[in-house]
Amino acid sequence: MFDAKSVAVIGASSDPDRIGGRVLRFLRESGYQGKLFPINRSGSEIQGLPAYPSILDVPEAPDQAIIVVPTSAVESALRDAIQKGVKSVVVLTAGFAEINADGRAVQDRMAAMCKAAGVRMVGPNSLGLLNVESRLFSTFSVVLYGVSPKAGNIALATQSGAFGSALYGAATLRGMGFSKIVATGNEADVDVAQAIDYLAEDPATKVIMAALESAKDGQKLRRALLKAAKAQKPVIIMKVGRSELGAAAAATHTGSLAGNDAAYDAVFAECGAYRAQSQEAMLDIAYLVSTTGHLPVNNELGVLTSSGGIGVMVADACGDSGLTMPALPETARKAMLELLPFAVAANPLDVTAQITSVKNGTVRALDVMLSNSSYGTTLAYLASAGLAPATFKTSYEQPFAELKARHPERDVVVVTLSVPEVDRELEKIGIPVFNDATRATLALGAAATIRARWSNLYEPAEAKHEAYKLGDVSTEALAKEALAEAGLPVPQDVLAINADAAVAAADAMGYPVVLKIVSPQIMHKTEVGGVVLNVKNADAVRAAHQQILDSVHVHVPDAQIDGVLVCPMIVGGTEMILGVNNDATFGPMILVGAGGVNTELYKDVSVVSAPLTQARARQAIDKVKATALLKGWRGSAPKDMDALVTAMVKLSDFAMNHPEVMSVDVNPLVVREASAAVLDAVIIKHPEAAL
Amino acid sequence: MFDAKSVAVIGASSDPDRIGGRVLRFLRESGYQGKLFPINRSGSEIQGLPAYPSILDVPEAPDQAIIVVPTSAVESALRDAIQKGVKSVVVLTAGFAEINADGRAVQDRMAAMCKAAGVRMVGPNSLGLLNVESRLFSTFSVVLYGVSPKAGNIALATQSGAFGSALYGAATLRGMGFSKIVATGNEADVDVAQAIDYLAEDPATKVIMAALESAKDGQKLRRALLKAAKAQKPVIIMKVGRSELGAAAAATHTGSLAGNDAAYDAVFAECGAYRAQSQEAMLDIAYLVSTTGHLPVNNELGVLTSSGGIGVMVADACGDSGLTMPALPETARKAMLELLPFAVAANPLDVTAQITSVKNGTVRALDVMLSNSSYGTTLAYLASAGLAPATFKTSYEQPFAELKARHPERDVVVVTLSVPEVDRELEKIGIPVFNDATRATLALGAAATIRARWSNLYEPAEAKHEAYKLGDVSTEALAKEALAEAGLPVPQDVLAINADAAVAAADAMGYPVVLKIVSPQIMHKTEVGGVVLNVKNADAVRAAHQQILDSVHVHVPDAQIDGVLVCPMIVGGTEMILGVNNDATFGPMILVGAGGVNTELYKDVSVVSAPLTQARARQAIDKVKATALLKGWRGSAPKDMDALVTAMVKLSDFAMNHPEVMSVDVNPLVVREASAAVLDAVIIKHPEAAL
Residues in chain B within 8 Å Cβ distance of A598: 598, 602
Residue B343 and residue B306: Cα distance in Å, rounded? 9
Quick: pLDDT tens for A166-207. 899 999 999 999 999 999 999 999 999 999 999 999 999 999
- The H or E element that residue A616 is part of is helix A614-622
Q: A655: closest CA among A688, A624, A686?
A: A686
pLDDT at B362: 94
Give the span between the Cα atoms of B63 and B103, in whole angstroms. Answer: 27
What is the amino acid identity at position A88?
S
The three-point CA angle A16-A17-A19 to 5° equals 95
Q: Is the dihedral of CA A432, A438, A441, A447 positive or negative?
A: negative
Cα–Cα distance between B549 and B7 in angstroms, integer? 76
Judged by CB atoms closer than 8 Å, whether chains meet at B145 and A384 is answered as yes
Q: Which residues of B fall within a CB distance of 8 Å from A307? A: 160-163, 166
Residue A689's pLDDT is what? 64
Comparing alpha-carbon positions, the chain B residue that sits nearest to A279 is B436
Number of H helices, E strands in chain B: 24, 29
Peptide bond before residue B491 is cis, with ω within 30 degrees of 0: no
- Strand pairing category for A35-39 and B605-609: unpaired
DSSP letter at A54 equals S
Q: Give backbone dihedrals phi and psi of A588, rounded to 5 degrees, phi first.
A: -60, 125
Whole-angstrom distance, CA of residue B439 vs CA of residue B414: 12
Report pLDDT digits (tens) over B590-616.
Answer: 999 999 889 989 999 999 999 999 999
CA distance B157 to B180: 8
Q: What is the pLDDT of residue B465?
A: 63
- Per-residue pLDDT, averaged over A89-117, amounts to 94
Best mutation target, B278, B304, B352, B528, to test chain A (most A CBs within 10 A): B278
Q: What are the backbone angles phi and psi of residue A251, rounded to the nearest 5°? A: -70, -15
Closest Cβ–Cβ partner in A163, A166, A417 for B146: A417
Chain-centre distance for alpha carbon B644: 27
Confidence (pLDDT) at B418: 92
Chain B environment of A143 (Cβ under 8 Å): 383-384, 387, 417
Instruction: Answer yes or no: is pLDDT of B578 > 90.
Output: yes
Q: Report the chain B residue with the minimal C-alpha distance to residue A354.
A: B94
Whole-angstrom distance, CA of residue A258 vs CA of residue A608: 9
**What is the C-alpha to C-alpha distance for residues B400 and B412, in angstroms, rounded to an integer?**
9
Report d(CA A600, CA A575) in Å as an integer. Answer: 13
Verify whether the Cβ–Cβ distance B278 to A524 is below 8 Å: no
Ramachandran angles phi, psi of B183, nearest 5°: -110, 115
B527 vs A312: CB contact, 8 Å cut-off?
no
- What is the pLDDT, as a whole number, of residue B248? 41
Query: Which tens digits make up the pLDDT trace of B132-188?
Result: 999 999 988 878 878 889 999 999 999 988 888 889 999 999 999 999 999 999 999
pLDDT at A72 (0 to 100):
94
- The mean predicted confidence, pLDDT, of chain A is 91
Alpha-carbon distance A453 to A459, whole Å?
12
Mutation for testing the B interface, residue in A125, A142, A172 having most B CBs under 10 Å: A142
CB contact under 8 A, A307 and B163: yes
Mean pLDDT of B441-463: 90
Instruction: Flag whether pLDDT at B12 surpasses 50.
Output: yes
b/e map B586-625, b = 16+ CB within 10 Å: bbbbbbbbbbbbbbbbbebbbbbbbbbeeebbbebbeebb
Q: What pLDDT score was predicted for residue A498? A: 95
Please, what is the average pLDDT of chain B?
91
Q: Compute the distance between CA of residue B265 and CA of residue A420 in angstroms, rounded to an integer.
A: 37
A673 DSSP assignment: S
CB-based contact A105:A194 (threshold 8 Å): no
3-state secondary structure of B207: strand
Residues of chain A with C-beta less than 8 angstroms from the C-beta of B308: 160, 213, 241
Lowest mean pLDDT among A110-119, B301-310, B424-433, B439-448: B301-310
A252/B262: higher pLDDT: B262
Three-class SS of residue A50? strand
Q: What is the pLDDT of residues B39-72, one digit of tens each?
A: 998 878 999 999 999 999 999 999 999 999 999 9
Residue in B169, B317, B385 nearest the CB of A417: B169
pLDDT at position B523, please?
Answer: 84
CB-based contacts of B512, cutoff 8 Å, min separation 6: B534, B535, B536, B569
Structural domains in chain B, sorted by start: 1-125 (3.40.50.720), 296-440 (3.40.50.261), 492-568 (3.30.1490.20), 574-689 (3.30.470.20)
Count the residues in chain A: 691
A-chain CB neighbours of B213 within 8 Å are 308-309, 312
Q: Which residues pair with B121 in a beta bridge?
A: B89
Q: Which of A598, A600, A633 should one mutate to test binding to chain B, selecting the residue with the greatest count of B CBs within 10 A?
A: A598
Handedness of CA A550, A556, A560, A566 (dihedral sign): negative
Residue B129 φ then ψ, to 5°: -145, 160
pLDDT at B131: 95
Q: Provide the terminal-to-terminal Cα distance of chain A, rounded to the nearest Å.
A: 49
CA distance B596 to chain A (A): 12
Contact B166 A417 (CB under 8 A): yes
CB-closest option in A388, A439, A524 to B146: A388
Residue A344: count of CB within 10 angstroms of its CB: 17
Question: What percentage of residues in chain B have a pLDDT greater than 70?
Answer: 97
**Confidence band of B462 (pLDDT split at 50, 70, 90):** low
**Residues on chain B touching A601 (C-beta within 8 angstroms):** 594, 602, 604, 625-626, 628-629
CA A275, CA A282: separation in Å to the nearest integer? Answer: 8
B258 compared with A287, residue with greater pLDDT: A287
Task: Give the pLDDT confidence of B527-570 residue by residue, as tens digits.
Answer: 899 999 889 899 999 999 999 999 999 999 999 999 999 999 88
Computed over its alpha carbons, how large is the radius of gyration of chain B? Answer: 31
Instruction: Please compute, for residue B629, the number of CA atoms within 13 A of its CA located in the half-sphere on the CB side.
Output: 23
Q: Does A417 contact B170 at a Cβ distance shorter than 8 Å?
A: yes
pLDDT of the residue at A249 = 43
Contact list in A for residue B279 (CB cut-off 8 A) is 313, 436-438
Separation of alpha carbons A90 and B416, rounded Å: 27
- The single-letter code of the amino acid at A342 is F
Q: Averaged over B255-283, what is the pLDDT? A: 91
Mean pLDDT (whole number) for B455-484: 84
CA–CA separation, B476 and A543 (whole Å): 41
Taking CA–CA distances from A441, the nearest residue in chain B reads: B278
Q: Which of B344, B417, B526 to mutate to test the interface with A (most CBs of A within 10 A)?
A: B417
**How many Cα atoms within 13 Å fall on the side-chain side of residue B433?**
25
Q: Report which of A250, A208, A68, A54 is spatially closest to residue A141, judged by C-alpha positions.
A: A68
Select the residue of B146, B280, B598 nearest A438 (Cβ to Cβ).
Answer: B280
CA-based end-to-end distance of chain B: 49
Instruction: Give the three-class secondary structure for A348.
Output: coil
| C-beta atoms of A524 and B634 within 8 A | yes
DSSP for A199-214? HHH-TT-SEEEEEES-
pTM over 0.90: yes
**Beta carbons of B164 and B156 less than 8 angstroms apart:** yes
Q: Which chain B residues have a beta carbon less than 8 Å from that of A384?
A: 142-143, 145-147, 165-166, 169
Chain A residues with CB-CB distance to B637 below 8 A: none
Is the CB of B173 less than 8 angstroms away from the CB of A307?
no
Q: How far apart are CA B150 and CA A411, in angstroms?
A: 37
Lowest mean pLDDT among A162-166, A651-655, A686-690, B258-262: A686-690
DSSP state of A238: E
Q: Cα–chain-centroid distance for residue A619?
A: 18
How far does A471 lie from chain B, in Å, by closest CA?
A: 30
CB B39 within 8 A of CB B52: yes
B691 has a pLDDT exceeding 50? no
A647-669 pLDDT per residue, tens:
999 999 999 999 999 999 999 99
Task: Give CA–CA dist B437/B379, Å, rounded.
Answer: 9
Q: Lowest mean pLDDT of A253-267, A402-416, A585-599, A613-627, name the range.
A: A253-267
Contact B597 A635 (CB under 8 A): no
Residue B245 has pLDDT above 50, yes or no: no
Q: Choose the closest CB to A241 out of B279, B309, B604.
A: B309
pLDDT at A468 over 70: no
Provide the strand spans (E) within A76-164.
Answer: 88-91, 120-122, 128-131, 136-138, 150-158
Among A313, A422, A441, the residue to mutate for chain B (most B Cβ within 10 A): A313
Q: In 3D, which of A306, A439, A350 has the Cα closest to residue B165?
A: A306
Between residues A327 and B353, which one has the greater pLDDT? Answer: A327
Supply the pLDDT for residue A47. 92
Q: What is the pLDDT of residue A63?
A: 97
CB contact under 8 A, A634 and B387: no
Q: Do A145 and B384 touch (CB under 8 A)?
A: yes
Distance from C-alpha of A422 to C-alpha of A195, rounded to nearest angstrom: 34
Mean pLDDT of A566-572: 88
Instruction: Give residue A263's pLDDT band: very low, low, confident or very high (50, 70, 90).
Output: very high
ipTM for this prediction: 0.90
DSSP code at position A625 = G
Scanning B434-522, the segments in alpha helix (DSSP H) are 437-454, 476-485, 499-509
The confidence band for A467, taking pLDDT boundaries of 50, 70 and 90, is low
Confidence of residue B331 (pLDDT cuts 50, 70, 90): very high
Q: How many Å apart are CA A84 and CA A61, to the nearest integer?
A: 6
Q: Which residue of B has its CA nearest to A628?
A: B601
Average pLDDT for B214-229: 94
Beta strands in A351-396 (DSSP E): 377-381
